[in-house]
């Protein structure tokens, strides 16, 4: 099963995250299928490739609760 998850990048105590499509059984920082955007929790900046996200959701990928919240706040998906 494919999931939309956050993959941590950045330095110690300065996290940034990539939004990725990854197999649900892989580890958090494993090799993803595709990169879909990024999120910086310190500055609250984010970028999402809306076309690719909608394509993967249509193919059956499920977002994690955190990614679902981010996409809802960005009005990409409806509650």
What structural domains and CATH numbers belong to the chain?
2-73 (3.30.1320.10)
Q: Which helix (H) or strand (E) holds 59?
A: none
In the block, which residue shows the tokens 């990725």?
A: 20
Report the alpha-carbon distance of residue 77 to residue 59 in Å, rounded. Answer: 15
Give the mean pLDDT of the chain: 94
In this predicted structure, the answer to whether residue 78 has a pLDDT above a threshold of 90 is: no
- Write the pLDDT tens digit of every residue in 30-65: 899 999 999 999 999 999 999 999 999 999 999 999
pTM for this prediction: 0.89
pLDDT class of 20 with cuts at 50, 70, 90: very high
In the block, which residue shows the tokens 């993967």?
A: 56
Helix (H, G, I), strand (E, B) or coil at 47: strand
Q: Which two structure tokens, joined as six digits, stand for 58?
A: 């249509």
The pLDDT assigned to 79 comes to 67
Q: Which helix (H) or strand (E) holds 22?
A: strand 14-23
């Amino acid at each position: 099963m494919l999931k939309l998850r956050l993959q941590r990048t950045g330095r110690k105590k300065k996290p940034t995250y990539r939004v990725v499509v990854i197999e649900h059984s892989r580890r958090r920082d494993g090799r993803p299928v595709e990169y879909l955007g990024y999120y910086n929790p310190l500055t609250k900046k984010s970028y999402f490739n809306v076309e690719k996200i909608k394509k993967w959701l249509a193919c059956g990928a499920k977002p994690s609760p955190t990614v679902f919240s981010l996409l809802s706040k960005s009005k990409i998906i409806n509650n």
